[in-house]
């Protein structure tokens, strides 16, 4: 294999030459750190979010679409909700909600610290971020499109492509985070056709990787292996997939295609978390897929990008009305709005509020303190 010049924050595709086996690698550093710049999670939750963000990039890379892919984990453990999004041009964002974190889950009638902030201000933050919130079922809501359910809800059938699970401490940690009854919802919103495709699988695996393998088995019927890892510095993911042969025929057990898939499967099964986080793509491919003739394609950049902006937040405050915003300003000394997705704070002092409601105000030039 020729030397690969890999850089952080990119996703790369590779194939086994002349065989129906492909793979994807994503390596995030500054994009992962930028995503968490205003977020503070326990280490285990942070790492799970990093895995989910990497997974969203891998899932998006396997598709040809224009729009947004949302990977949503709904759990019954410490993590109540986790959302990772990736667009077709690999712009990512993500957020995790912990059980007991929200006011409505731990309500205290004597706690009036937030009483001065009107409900409309709190709910406006999701709109500023471009988030649509949760519908009654907990899945992300969209205002248009048609849903085609590609998943298998609470299927009792075992993934026919699954490998035996590895019992270790990480499996117990994953179960502590997500609980016993949860699900993964993968939603693909194709903007060019205003279509929405959704697959749902239960959280029955011992890791997020295993749950995603179940998703591919149930929604696409493609044997797929996934490895994910994250820490405070990097978020990395690796996916290999067996594609249908020409004509859709199943490969004979003694065929070259079947042998190529078996080698790829063994290779990724041997990849450990420390190896994902501590080695380069070239080292990983050489050590685990060295028997194969691989072709690695040029990478595509991945970057953090939240839809919130100063102009959007200013516009939403303006729609709330001058009286309501000034009431908050008088009571609290400033109007503070925090993006519910990236947790970026926007603070409008008295000068900014006056700019906001000036007759000739320009929302792009309103001053805010972060």
Which CATH number do you get for residue 96? 3.55.30.10
For residues 358 and 297, state if they share a domain. Answer: no
Residue 169 pLDDT: 80
Give residue-wise pLDDT tens across range 306-354. Answer: 998 888 888 888 888 889 988 998 998 889 898 988 999 998 888 888 8
- What's the rounded mean pLDDT across residues 121-126? 38
Residues 258, 349, single domain; the answer is: no
Residue 370 lies in a domain: no
193 lies in the same domain as 332 = no
Q: What is the pLDDT of residue 150?
A: 32
| Burial of residue 268, with CB atoms counted within 10 A of its CB: 0-12 exposed, 13-18 middle, 19 or more buried | buried
Angle at 313 between CA 310 and CA 314, to 5 degrees: 80
Residue 5 lies in a domain: no
Q: For the chain, how many structural domains are there in total? A: 2
Give yes or no: residues 92 and 230 share one domain: yes
Residue ending a domain, among 264, 282, 304, is 304
> Are residue 152 and residue 257 in the same domain, yes or no?
yes
The Cα–Cα gap between 295 and 264 comes to 14
Q: How far apart are CA 229 and CA 242, in angstroms?
A: 22
CA distance 180 to 90: 32
- Domain residues for the domain of 71 are 10-304
State the CB neighbour count (10 A cutoff) for residue 180.
10
Q: Is residue 156 part of a domain?
A: yes
Residue 216 backbone dihedrals phi, psi, to 5 degrees: -65, -40
Which residues lie across from 348 on neighbouring strands?
335
**Residue 112 has what pLDDT?**
28
- Does 2 reside within a domain? no
Asked whether residue 351 is domain-assigned, the answer is yes
* Same-domain check for residues 295 and 357: no
User: Do 257 and 140 lie in a common domain?
Assistant: yes
Angle in degrees, CA 68, 69, 71, rounded to 5: 145
Residues 345 and 253 in one domain: no
21 found inside a domain: yes
Question: Domain of 321: which CATH number?
Answer: 3.90.1280.10
| In contact, 15 and 23? CB cutoff 8 Å | yes
Contact 62, 51 (CB under 8 A): no
Query: Do 102 and 241 fall within a single domain?
Result: yes
Boundary of a domain, candidates 252, 279, 304? 304
The reply to whether 57 and 173 lie within a common domain is: yes
Structural domain includes residue 3: no
pLDDT tens-place string over residues 29-88: 999 999 999 999 999 999 999 999 999 999 999 999 999 999 999 999 999 999 999 999
Within a domain: 4:
no
In whole angstroms, give the CA distance from residue 197 to residue 145: 9
Which of 309, 287, 283, 285 minimizes the C-alpha distance to 295? 285
Q: What pLDDT, on a 0 to 100 scale, did the predictor assign at position 146?
A: 30
Domain match, 279 and 353 both: no
Taking the model in full, what pTM does it have? 0.79
Among candidate residues 269, 285, 304, the one where a domain is terminated: 304
Note whether 257 and 332 are same-domain residues. Answer: no
């Amino acid at each position: 294999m020729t030397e690969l010049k890999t850089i952080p924050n990119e996703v790369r595709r590779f194939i086994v030459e002349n065989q129906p086996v492909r793979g994807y690698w994503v390596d995030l550093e500054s994009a992962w750190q930028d995503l968490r710049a205003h977020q503070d999670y326990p280490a285990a939750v942070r790492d799970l979010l990093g895995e989910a963000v990497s997974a969203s990039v891998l899932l998006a890379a396997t598709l040809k679409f224009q729009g947004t892919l949302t990977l949503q984990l709904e759990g019954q453990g410490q993590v109540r909700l986790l959302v990772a999004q990736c667009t077709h041009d690999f712009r990512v964002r993500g957020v995790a909600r912990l059980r007991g974190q929200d006011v409505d889950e731990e309500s205290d009638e004597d706690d009036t610290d937030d009483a001065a902030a009107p409900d409309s201000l709190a709910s406006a933050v999701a709109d500023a971020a471009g988030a649509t919130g949760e519908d009654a079922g907990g899945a992300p809501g969209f205002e248009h499109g048609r849903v085609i359910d590609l998943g298998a809800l609470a299927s009792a059938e075992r993934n026919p492509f699954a490998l035996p699970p590895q019992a270790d401490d990480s499996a117990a940690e994953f179960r502590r985070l997500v609980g016993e009854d949860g699900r993964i919802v993968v939603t693909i919103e194709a903007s060019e056709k205003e279509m929405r495709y959704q697959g749902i699988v239960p959280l029955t695996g011992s890791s997020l990787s295993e749950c995603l393998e179940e998703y591919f088995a149930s929604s696409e019927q493609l044997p797929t292996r996934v490895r994910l890892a994250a820490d405070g510095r990097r978020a990395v993911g690796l996916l290999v997939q067996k594609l249908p042969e020409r004509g859709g025929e199943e490969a004979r057990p003694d065929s070259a295609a079947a042998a190529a898939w078996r080698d790829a499967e063994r290779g990724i099964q041997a990849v450990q978390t420390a190896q994902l986080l501590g080695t380069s793509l070239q080292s990983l491919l050489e050590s685990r897929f060295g028997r194969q003739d691989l072709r690695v394609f040029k990478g595509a950049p991945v970057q953090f990008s939240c839809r919130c902006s100063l102009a959007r937040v200013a516009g939403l405050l303006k729609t709330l009305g001058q009286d309501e915003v000034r009431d908050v300003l008088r009571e609290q000394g400033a109007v503070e709005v925090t993006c519910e997705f990236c947790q970026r704070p926007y603070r409008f002092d008295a000068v900014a509020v006056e700019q906001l409601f000036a007759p000739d105000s320009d929302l792009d030039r309103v001053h805010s303190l972060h």
